[in-house]
């Protein structure tokens, strides 16, 4: 493996979970990882509650945007080392062919953007999604990338998706 890795987080709308994962990994994995996010059917905007959750966690939000996964299948797109789906819909869709054969895993998380009820209930749904993503990303960052073979690494990233 290399010294620096590219990671793509996928979701259908690219408005909440994948956006939060991108922000978390870019902050926590500085120097070792560059994270991106995209959606199969992007909403075109980042959910305001996702931005609020990131700001509450002191993570930068300035360059976050909802975008199509087609951007990352183009010839001039960054080569991905890892691709993680964070919603069940995206996991079941036929993904583009990613150049370089990245390792993939499904890290499904309930959609906080679908939460209903009081403002407190909606904020709790975003906070729970954030905490789960943050925990999984911390586990991912703790993996000894350079010493694991591809098969072992694949098993580990799959296991993280169940945590």
Q: Shortest CA distance to 19 belongs to which of 53, 29, 1? A: 53
Core vs surface per residue 89-102: b (16+ CB within 10 A) or e: bbbeeebbebeeeb
For the stretch 95-137, pLDDT in tens is: 666 777 899 999 999 999 889 899 999 999 999 999 999 999 9
pLDDT tier at 90 (50, 70, 90 boundaries)?
low
40-69: per-residue pLDDT in tens? 888 999 999 999 999 999 999 999 999 999
Q: Could you list the active site residues?
A: 11, 87, 95
Q: What is the pLDDT of residue 92?
A: 59
Domains and CATH numbers, the chain: 5-160 (3.40.50.2300)
Position 160 confidence tier, pLDDT thresholds 50, 70, 90: very high
């Amino acid at each position: 493996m290399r010294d620096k890795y590219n990671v793509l987080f996928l979701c259908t709308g690219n408005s909440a979970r994948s956006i939060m994962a991108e922000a978390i990994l870019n902050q926590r994995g500085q120097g070792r990882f560059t994270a991106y996010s995209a959606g199969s059917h992007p909403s075109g905007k980042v959910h305001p509650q996702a931005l609020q959750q990131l700001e509450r966690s002191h993570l930068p939000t300035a360059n976050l945007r909802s975008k199509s996964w087609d951007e990352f299948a183009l010839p001039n797109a960054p080569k991905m080392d890892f691709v993680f789906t964070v919603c069940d819909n995206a996991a079941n869709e036929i993904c583009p062919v990613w150049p370089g054969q990245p390792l993939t895993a499904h890290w499904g998380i309930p959609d906080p953007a679908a939460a209903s009820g009081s403002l407190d209930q909606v904020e709790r749904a975003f906070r729970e999604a954030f905490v789960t993503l943050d925990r999984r990303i911390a586990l991912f960052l703790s993996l000894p990338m350079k010493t694991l073979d591809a098969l072992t690494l694949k098993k580990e990233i799959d296991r993280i998706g169940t945590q």
